[in-house]
Amino acid sequence: MSPTYERASTFARDWAKLTPQQRRRFLEAVAAMVADLRAGRPFRPGLRVKGVEDAPGVFEMTWAPDGRATFEYGREQRPGEPHIVWRRVGTHDVFRRP
């Protein structure tokens, strides 16, 4: 199982502000997330995937000590495979408008 994904315009704006090191760390965390999805197991504890308070259906993922990304599950693009919509990426500031 390999998830499909898309990026919200807010994610694209956030991505442009990240340093190359931040981008690399985020992509490493995404690779771990995808590996967990492919294996059909819960997300590893280090990713700290959990729901965002006061934002039903939105989840957060930790990719660095002050690195967070928010996402939601979208409509399946391929039967039986999750579709992830990346909403925000950056520091804890992303929680102002997850």
Q: How many CB atoms lie within 10 A of CB 44?
A: 14
DSSP letter for 43, please.
P
CATH code, domain carrying 49: 3.30.2310.20
pTM given for the model = 0.92
Report the domain count for the chain: 1
Domain limits for position 70 = 4-96
Query: For 29-72, how does the pLDDT look when each residue is reduced to its tens digit (9 = 90+)?
Result: 999 999 999 898 999 999 999 999 999 999 999 999 999 999 99
- Per-residue pLDDT, 51: 96
Provide mean pLDDT across the span 16-34: 96
